[in-house]
Structure 1
Amino acid sequence: MIKFFRKIRRKLLRENRLSKYLLYAIGEIILVVIGILIALQLNNWNENRKENIRENQLIDVLITDLKAKKAEFKSDLAIGKSIIRNSDISINYWNRNNKIDTLNLKFLLKYLAEDEWFFNENSPVYATIAGSELWKELPDSLNRQIDNMYRMQFGSIKSAFVKQSEYALNGKLNFLAPNHLLNLNEGTSSIQKIVSNRDEDFIVLLELFKSGVVRLTSKFEKTIPSIDRLIENLEFYKNDK
């Protein structure tokens, strides 16, 4: 193509057709400019495509992180409901019979001694997105929703876990350890006798522990649907771009 234009240019010069040569030169310049503009447009399109891919990858990673948190909360919710259910059985039995029930005794003592309740609300995924260009591109409503989830709702769950761990540590130090109830290898009847000697203290401890679990499960029940809504909004934003 370049050789073709050169031949035309030389022919016009040889024939001394200056006006036509000038028109040709202008046309050639216009073609070069158009080519440059097209190249720039293609480059911009390619860069935008790459940026969209990077943004979508970040959104996908965030969605994966949220789904992992949801699965964790659903598992904890099931455990919490089990603790509440078994606590109610033992508390109601004691209220009716003034006696410690053996049915769920070991199960409850096991959780009353569990002082390692933990939840890490910090997320490297959230930190990465909050400091990226994607954060500036997201709608304000979606930014607030993400921020509220990671900073407020997850932070609130973290606080509830810390409080629950404090309840368990208090029970371990003031009731379980002094009564040699940290080792549950003995028979249920033997353990019942030990607990029965301080039955009121056990029930108070159990009610306190249960109240913390109730608070935790209520947070899980509120947060899980919020995660679903956030995931839905993120997927809608990604697919609507």
Structure 2
Amino acid sequence: MENKTGKYFKYAIGEIVLVVIGILIALQINNWNEQRKEKSLEKELINLLITDLEEKKDENISDLKNSDGIIQRFQRSTDMWDYEEKIDTTSLKRNLEILGIDRYFQNQSSPIYSGLSSTNLWKQIPDSLTKQIDKVYRIRLKRVGVSFDKLTEYGTFCRLNFLTPNDLMDLDRDTDVILQKLEPVKKEYILNSKLFISGKKRLRVSLEACANEIEDLIENLRQYNETK
């Protein structure tokens, strides 16, 4: 009886050990699965962030090209005045139209960034990377937005203080008629054009810096995802 009891006891202990080992293995497998899911989710969110950044970079580059074209157009007109004291009639209508634009817009919202920065996964991303992400969204894109706002304000100013008082809003008329309206205020027109060029150049600097930093960030995010 004592031998049988000892055998049963050892058997029971063995069963308990096996059960415990099985539970530990199951927990470990579950942890591995959870970590795998978490890493997969993190990579997916990072990829979504990269897509968002690529869209913003493309928008910046498009705005940059547009700004370059407008700067060149206005620069030709102001150069003609500076060197020949003549009004560039080939770009007159378009320049007057651009001076009065007061609806500049840049999409700064980013649900992906807002969502990612409020999750626990954000804490797992290296500080150097989160700081770079914050800099792009909270500083660089904001500066671009401020530059657009300034141009909007200047467009409103030109409409109210130059274009409307001098009857230069109606651009469907012949160029000769518009030129006659402009004749008494030619110098003011050139001054407004030069101020507009200055604002566009400031916007260009912000756009270029933002596009470059976005490109660097995208590369760093891709390298980080490859290590996951």
Instruction: Calculate the TM-score normalised by the size of structure 1.
Output: 0.90
Shift of 1:197: 2.4
- 4+ residue stretches of structure 1 with deviation over 4 A? none
Q: Are the equivalent residues in 2 in contact too, given 1:55–1:134 (CA < 8 A)? A: yes
AA partner of residue 145 (structure 1): Q
AA partner of residue 193 (structure 2): L
Partner of 2:195: 208
Q: Are the equivalent residues in 1 in contact too, given 2:100–2:156 (CA < 8 A)? A: yes
Structure 2: gaps spanning 5 or more residues: none
Structure 1 residues 33-64: Cα deviation after superposition (integer angstroms, max 9, x where no partner): 11101111111111112211221221112111
Identity %: 45
Shift of 1:16: 6.0
Partner of 1:116: 103
Aligned equivalents of 1:38, 1:140: Cα separation in 2: 34
Q: Which residue of the other structure, out of 129, 136, 146, is the alignment partner of 1:149?
A: 136
Aligned equivalents of 1:20, 1:157: Cα separation in 2: 80
Q: Are the equivalent residues in 2 in contact too, given 1:100–1:195 (CA < 8 A)? A: no
Partner of 1:172: 159
AA partner of residue 231 (structure 1): I
Partner of 1:84: 71
Structure 1 residues 69-92: Cα deviation after superposition (integer angstroms, max 9, x where no partner): 111111111110011101110001
Superposition RMSD in Å = 1.6
Map 1:16-27 onto structure 2 (within 5 A): 17-27=4-14
AA partner of residue 46 (structure 2): I
Instruction: Calculate the TM-score normalised by the size of structure 2.
Output: 0.94
1:226 has 2:226 as partner? no
AA partner of residue 187 (structure 1): D
The structure with the larger Rg is: 1
Shift of 1:134: 1.6
Q: Are the equivalent residues in 1 in contact too, given 2:116–2:122 (CA < 8 A)? A: yes
AA partner of residue 102 (structure 2): D
Aligned length: 228
Partner of 1:3: none
Shift of 1:122: 3.3
Aligned equivalents of 1:44, 1:182: Cα separation in 2: 69
Q: Are the equivalent residues in 1 in contact too, given 2:140–2:209 (CA < 8 A)? A: no
Shift of 1:182: 2.0
Aligned equivalents of 2:162, 2:25: Cα separation in 1: 79
Q: Which moved more, 1:21-30 or 1:94-103?
A: 21-30
Map 1:1-241 onto structure 2 (within 5 A): 17-241=4-228
